[in-house]
């Protein structure tokens, strides 16, 4: 990337900084109106990659943003970032209605927290409990307790990002950085949200064992995707009322059937490899859902089996807490940059 420093303010190869910014902005606007597979858009993705790195953002910028955005509501944006928004906002999220093939929403919907409650705790609890019986809503395979823990966990991340956001109001990112950082297509955030939405709806999809999962489901068993490579449990004599965990056989039901929340980041904490990220950025998520699911299960394998430990004991909470507290703070800073660019540019 060229530098704009120096006493003359002139860059010998590209001209002055003002012209650079004008040309960059013009190229970006043209790219945004073009299909994502056109060469000029690919060029802008490369330019934005360099811009974000120069601004101190990581290779996992899109990955970090998608995790923190997927369930945010308009009210949460107002609370943690101090900007009132309607449903005409441009903050993308994962659709919590699992009955539709519209995986990613272009906006953060309103959560409609009950105004009777004055504390965030009861507002969040009410939001979870009022939908606790819905079979195809939110995320898959969590108990009510785990749903509540997930909501509080996300609120913690937004709160931490809010601190960084207020600092950015005093020392904001540059306009050309925001042209890239706030763009969900050029950064790959849209790709990450599409993948996360499918993982939420189809647990174990990218584990590399999805065909086995489907076959067991066809055999009439309830499938618990979430235990991954846990230690084997004793086999049950009667399969009736038992879940089948593809990693080790029969297990007495300890979690509710599909229709509950799951936070996949607790199951697979390792950062995705550069090779996997490159595949994801080029993956085509268009088409019928059953076809997309089939292709994802074969082409985007990352070994993610979902949640490794459920909240059924003190030991389970110790595991969850360790995963929560070990998340890198840079991801919260990156969300702050994204939100600043979306809400102020």
Contact at 8 Å (CB) between 127 and 109? no
The one-digit pLDDT tens for each residue of the chain (345 residues) are: 433 433 333 343 434 444 454 445 555 555 444 444 567 788 889 999 999 999 999 999 999 999 999 999 999 999 999 999 998 999 999 998 888 889 999 999 999 999 999 999 999 999 999 988 887 777 777 788 988 999 999 999 999 999 999 999 999 999 999 999 999 999 999 999 999 999 988 888 888 887 776 676 555 444 443 333 333 334 444 444 434 343 333 333 333 333 323 333 444 446 788 889 989 999 999 999 999 999 999 999 988 877 778 899 999 999 999 989 999 999 999 999 999 999 997
Q: pTM surpassing 0.85?
A: no
Residue at token pair 């009736």: 240
Contact at 8 Å (CB) between 228 and 305? yes
The whole-angstrom separation of Cα 64 and Cα 262 is 17
> Does residue 249 sit in helix, strand or coil?
strand
Chain-centre distance of CA 77, in angstroms? Answer: 16
Per this entry, what is the length of the chain? 345
Contact at 8 Å (CB) between 177 and 52? yes
How far, CA to CA in Å, does 58 sit from each of 180, 204, 265? Answer: 13, 27, 18
Residue at token pair 């394998």: 301
Q: Of the candidates 164, 155, 93, 179, which has an alpha carbon nearest to the alpha carbon of residue 335?
A: 164
Torsion angles phi and psi, residue 123, rounded to 5: -65, -45
């Amino acid at each position: 990337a060229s530098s704009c420093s120096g006493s003359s303010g002139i860059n010998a190869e590209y001209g002055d900084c003002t012209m650079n910014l004008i040309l960059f902005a013009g190229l970006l606007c043209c790219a945004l109106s073009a299909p994502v597979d056109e060469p000029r858009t690919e060029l802008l993705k490369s330019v934005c990659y360099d811009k974000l790195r120069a601004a101190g953002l990581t290779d996992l910028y899109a990955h970090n943003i998608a995790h923190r955005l997927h369930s945010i509501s308009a009210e949460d944006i107002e609370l943690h970032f101090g900007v009132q928004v309607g449903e005409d906002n441009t903050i993308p999220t994962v659709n919590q209605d699992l009955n539709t093939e519209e995986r990613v929403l272009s906006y953060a919907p309103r959560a409609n927290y009950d105004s009777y409650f004055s504390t965030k705790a009861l507002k969040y609890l009410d939001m979870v409990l009022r939908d606790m019986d819905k079979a195809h809503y939110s995320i898959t395979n969590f108990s009510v307790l785990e749903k509540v823990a997930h909501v509080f966990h996300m609120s913690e991340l937004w709160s931490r990002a809010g601190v960084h956001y207020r600092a950015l109001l005093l020392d904001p990112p540059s306009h050309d950085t925001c042209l890239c950082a706030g763009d969900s297509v050029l950064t790959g955030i849209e790709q990450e949200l599409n993948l996360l939405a499918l993982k939420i709806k189809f647990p174990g999809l990218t584990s590399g064992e999805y065909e086995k999962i489907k076959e067991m489901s066809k055999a009439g068993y309830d499938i618990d995707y979430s235990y991954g490579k846990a230690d084997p449990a004793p086999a049950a004599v009667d399969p009736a009322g038992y879940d089948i965990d593809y990693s080790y056989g029969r297990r007495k039901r300890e979690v509710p059937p599909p229709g509950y929340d799951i936070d996949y980041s607790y199951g697979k904490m390792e950062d995705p490899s550069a090779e996997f990220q490159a595949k994801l950025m080029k993956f085509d998520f268009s088409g019928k859902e059953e076809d997309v699911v089939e292709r994802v299960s074969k082409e985007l394998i990352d070994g993610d089996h979902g949640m490794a430990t459920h909240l059924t004991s003190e030991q389970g909470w110790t595991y969850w807490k360790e995963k929560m507290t070990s998340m890198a703070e840079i991801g919260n800073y990156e969300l702050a940059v994204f939100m600043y660019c979306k809400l102020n540019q």
